[in-house]
Amino acid sequence: MSEVLYRKYRPQSFGEIVGQRHIVSVLQAALSKNRVSHAYLFSGPRGTGKTTVARIFARAVNCANSASASGGVAELSVRRSPQDEGGFPIPCNQCEICKEFLSGKTLDLIEIDAASSRGIDEIRSLREGVNVLPFKSKYKVYIIDEVHMLTAEAFNALLKTLEEPPAHVIFILATTEIDKIPETIISRAQHFEFRLIGEEELQSALAHIVAEEGLKAEVEALGLIATLAEGSLRDAQSILDQALVYASSGVILRDDVAEIFGIPSRELLEKLTLAFLEKDTPTALKSIHKASEANKDMKAFFKLLIRNFRFLMYLKLDLNYEKELQKFLAPDELAFMKATRDKFELKEFESVLNQLHASYAFLKISYLPQLPLELAALKITS
């Protein structure tokens, strides 16, 4: 059985992290200057790299070649990624400690899933364990995933440990729901907010995976996957996995992705785009009805329309943006964008984009999946 892509291509160094440079640079600087905190709180949407960064940091802070582990400046033997700015130390992934952390066999890295271990007993056990010195490493690292799932009693017990932590222990707390974390916990940790990853960055990451797998993919296909992933690299990799299974010729086609996930054809998207701009209500409603009759995913339809009008807005504002879009759009798709840009004014793109963005939120509560888009079409073309 082949390994799933999100595991096979899980980043193993800071330089491989996608879309979180604002966090990676600070953590690398802390390692370089040997200013490591006793507690970190990683918050943000799922699939954006919180646990992955936590594991990399756990290795980096203990790596035999890192500045923080040696207590001084890292030697030239430290491995660096070309993407690492400033030459900060990263885990070498080759020393004995790094290999043990990677294999999961070390006793100095303890990962706890708070969704299943959320009670006071588990945290009391943790409090007893933190007093035991690391077996091989400089630091014993505790990664508590989904930490917002802890009970109130468990949070109180954890707070006592965070207030007076042993010098040899580092806590990394990860959560998708920062609003459920007590302020007392937040105030005792360095808080890093992970952001949704941009579609362009996701598409580049997917293109790299496809190349590594020795396969090919249409630019449009990868663009659709990046849009569907909603800023999550893990979701993008899972969607790509499905597309790879479906691709019979070894080439991932736009039509294949559209078939699997119920995405409207490019022709239908372009027809509705023009109907909005030309205030053609009958054509707009007919296009939406056609997509609904074909059982297309209205959420995906909305996303792609929003993406198209966002691209049109940028193309109108900056003619040089065309060079950027060449990396992410097929020639025919870009040609349509350019022709539409030249035909209409910026305020028209802005008006449609505002209405689509406002109507998108109603998908969650709508009686009919196509209704929010139909109502948006009426407002846009009236």
Residues 187 and 212 in one domain: no
* Per-residue pLDDT reduced to its tens digit, 223-273: 889 988 888 999 999 999 888 887 767 788 888 888 888 888 889 999 999
Residues 204 and 173 in one domain: no
Report the chain's mean pLDDT, rounded to a whole number.
85
Residues 170 and 21 in one domain: yes
Domain closes at, from 216, 239, 261: 261
pLDDT number for residue 74: 38
Residues 357 and 240 in one domain: no
Q: Is 49 left (phi over 0), alpha (psi -120 to 50) or beta?
A: left
pLDDT at 178 over 90: yes
pLDDT number for residue 135: 87
pLDDT number for residue 132: 82
pLDDT number for residue 119: 66
Query: How does residue 309 score in pLDDT terms, banded at 50, 70 and 90?
Result: very high
Please check whether residue 175 is in contact with residue 149, taking contact to mean a CB–CB distance below 8 angstroms. Answer: no
pLDDT at 176 over 80: yes
Residues 39 and 91 in one domain: yes
Q: What is the DSSP pairing of strand 216-217 with strand 109-113?
A: unpaired
Domain closes at, from 141, 170, 193: 193
- The domain that holds 239 is classified in CATH as 1.10.8.60
pLDDT number for residue 80: 40
Domain closes at, from 172, 193, 214: 193
pLDDT number for residue 175: 93
Please check whether residue 39 is in contact with residue 130, taking contact to mean a CB–CB distance below 8 angstroms. Answer: no
Residues 92 and 188 in one domain: yes
Q: Which of 323, 316, 307 is nearest to 339 (CA)?
A: 316
| Least confident among 71-85, 173-187, 229-243, 282-296 | 71-85
The pLDDT of 200-224, averaged and rounded, is 89
pLDDT number for residue 137: 86
- The domain that holds 148 is classified in CATH as 3.40.50.300
Query: Bigger pLDDT: 75 or 168?
Result: 168
Tell me how far apart the alpha carbons of residues 158 and 62 are, in angstroms, rounded to a whole number: 23
Residues 168 and 291 in one domain: no
Tell me how far apart the alpha carbons of residues 337 and 350 are, in angstroms, rounded to a whole number: 15
pLDDT number for residue 68: 52
Residues 238 and 213 in one domain: yes
Residues 82 and 166 in one domain: yes
How many domains are there within the chain?
3
Helix (H) or strand (E) holding 203: helix 199-212
pLDDT number for residue 2: 63
Q: How far is CA 81 from CA 77, 88, 150, 212, in A?
A: 13, 9, 37, 18
The pLDDT of 51-70, averaged and rounded, is 81
pLDDT number for residue 194: 94
Residues 244 and 307 in one domain: no
The pLDDT of 344-371, averaged and rounded, is 91
Residues 151 and 17 in one domain: yes
* Per-residue pLDDT reduced to its tens digit, 71-128: 443 333 333 443 344 444 578 888 888 988 988 888 889 888 887 776 677 777 777 7
pLDDT number for residue 118: 65
- The domain that holds 327 is classified in CATH as 1.20.272.10
pLDDT at 322 over 70: yes
pLDDT number for residue 278: 94
Quote the domain boundaries for residue 366: 266-381
Residues 169 and 213 in one domain: no
